[in-house]
Amino acid sequence: MSALARSEPFPVPEIEITRMRRRHLRKILSIEGRVYPRPWSAGLFLSEMAQRGTRSYIVARCEGEVVGYAGMMFLPQEAHVTNIAVDPDFHGRKIGTRLLLTIISEAIARGSDVISLEVRVSNEPAQEMYKKFGFSVSGIRKGYYIETREDAYVMEADHAVSEDYRARLEIIETELEVFEGGGR
């Protein structure tokens, strides 16, 4: 467990969200290896990061250390979450929520009205987070995760550019501010 990770939820460390850079890859690959049975390679991350017009990758840092990351692919009027992961030592600190809020806000700014992703059928904590963001199951991909032969739910959030969806994001942002301020 890193010196920054604590077993108690308080105090909530300050999290900085910034663009993913090549220098972050060592820690990103470490997190990948801890959370995914078949992690992405450095080459794949570099290839994705090079496609700046259609991809966006961000990291969450705590006291300078990368503790999570997320990526998104942009299509005309649609966006797809390519990956999102948080260092297991930092779970429960709403870092995934911060990352998702940031990339969804970018998707909306780029005019994406539909946002999609895949999630393991067994990953109920992630599904609950996605539901807070208005995602619902729109399909299933049988055997999507090759290494475990596990199915994936396809989840989508529609009407992301609507006022109702923006209000949902404002509520999530307010909840994050309360959480970070020490309240629950």
Q: Quote the CA–CA distance of 132 and 168 in Å, as a whole number.
A: 8
Q: Quote the CA–CA distance of 137 and 125 in Å, as a whole number.
A: 15
Task: Label residues 36-52 b or e (16+ Cβ within 10 Å = b).
Answer: eeebbeeeebeebbeee
Catalytic site includes residue 145:
no
> Which position among 130, 153, 156, 165 bears the catalytic label?
130
Structure tokens at 89: 């030592």
- Going 19 to 22 to 23 to 25, the CA torsion angle's sign is positive
Catalytic site includes residue 173:
no
Q: Quote the CA–CA distance of 115 and 102 in Å, as a whole number.
A: 13
Nearest to 180 by CA among 75, 65, 97, 86: 97
Q: Quote the CA–CA distance of 22 and 158 in Å, as a whole number.
A: 33
> Which position among 48, 118, 153, 165 bears the catalytic label?
118
Q: Give catalytic residue positions.
A: 118, 130
